[in-house]
Structure 1
Amino acid sequence: MLIHPMPDPIAFSIGPLQVHWYGLMYLLAFAQFIALGRLRIRQPHIAAVGWKKEDLDDMLFYGVLGVVIGGRLGEILFYNPSYYFANPADMIAVWKGGMSFHGGFLGVLIAMYIWGRKRGRHLMDIMDFIAPMVPLGYAAGRLGNFINAELPGRVADASLPWAMIWPNVDNLPRHPSPIYQMLVDGILLFIVLWFFARKPRPRMAVAGMFSLLYGCARFFTEYFRTPDYNVSFGGITISAGQMLSVPMIVLGIALLIVAYKRNTVTSPA
């Protein structure tokens, strides 16, 4: 039986400065955004609408604020409001983990809207551009969750070769759900979306495909994760993560319908 290694959440220390693995994963996520962005602006249909290297650095600043502020607020409000309002000092302790993707998604939308107003770009053109760079950053975050021994999976059959005991939870074999979400919601989604976005698509199509695929992938992988809490609708019980993924699925379908109904490829802003 595999046992979670429970590594030290502190990767290394420099004097009084402690560098956490979770922070390193976010640094990796932002670095891959720049690296993939530089590849993306070389694609002919992206270069044709005026995207430049300078846009990446500017967007990253706004995006970091959107991810961190939105992700943390999402974790506080969507998942653990009672805990955080009882322990307000922990609201800013992001190095301990606890970032909501759905909150970060909303935060990035707001940040990109503000950046777009400043630069004269349509919000959906921005989201179409950055969508293929998001899944690998998400995957890095889920790896950080695993290192921190967060988001334990549901109890698994002991015969499952990769079932794992999480010593900080109990002695039962569990699914390594952060790894599932890293692989499916992150890496697999990146591969599909990157190839989809390599060709010119109507405005909103790439963003819509991301929203649809992420919502579906997250809804699926949530079946293997211990839910933060459950919600019931008409006798059907789903987890909080699944509930928050449903609007993304609906949004993705709506964006794709509108995009292909208009059937016009993005033109320069």
Structure 2
Amino acid sequence: MHILEAAMKCFAQKGYHATSMQEIADSLKIAKGSLYFYFKSKEDVLVSAFKHYHGLMAHEIMIIAKDLRLSPRERLMKQFTLQMEQFMKHQDFIVMMLNEQAFQINEDMKRFMFTSKAEALYWYYNSILAIYGSDVEEYALDAATMIQAISGDYIGYMIFHRKKFDTEHLSTFFMHRLDDLVHGLIEKQQAPILSMDNMGAFMKCGKEGFDHEMTQVERELIALGQEIAELDTEVKIVEEITSCYQVLQQEWAKPEPQPMILKGLLAYLRSFRRPTLSKSLDVLESEI
């Protein structure tokens, strides 16, 4: 989304508290009133921007998770690499969020962070079971927690201390440390610290978020974005189509999207007469 990407850049450069809605609007070359048409406050912009960033990464991770051509071990390694690359891509924004304690900005953000952490643990837990099998089941939550902590610290060095690591090499390193953790836990046979008895509610929250199936609209918006990215036409036209698509995504993400706005945006996309977009536009129009 063009507006959210611009907002993330402003927040990263000046900090959340020092950035005004006027400055975000100026960076987009739009009137401040137009910004308030989409967001009720600067708080709302920040929360939406972070959710946008998180959603992009989660979507890419899910694509890898569903690639059955890869083994479970290969999938986790690719997901490690993707995660690090995404963190580095948006490191200035993440540093700002942490430095200004923006993750605590309101209850919506707090709930979102809680759910995101639960989803991450659920992802690690299931990846470990898929790789190592039933022998590790008793220790899978402890192993997931420890590898999450290990990888998180290395990512912290990359983000906060600007350390340069080869992400693929680091992913291999993480997998070897995970091997050590799992084999050590199985060999020692000590009683686990974490189990479904004391982590059941947290894991249930993670499962609900991670297993969420995309709606027809979500699937078609993704397909439409891919079709737009592959358009072979003038740069100016692609930029206009992309801008309209970003506004369409943003409107549909609202709790109560406005049908007239959606229809107008779809009609504008049709006006470019690009046959490859027609199928997705037809489906999206049927969902209004």
TM-score where L is the length of structure 1:
0.31
Structure number with the higher helix fraction is 2
Q: Which has the larger radius of gyration?
A: 2
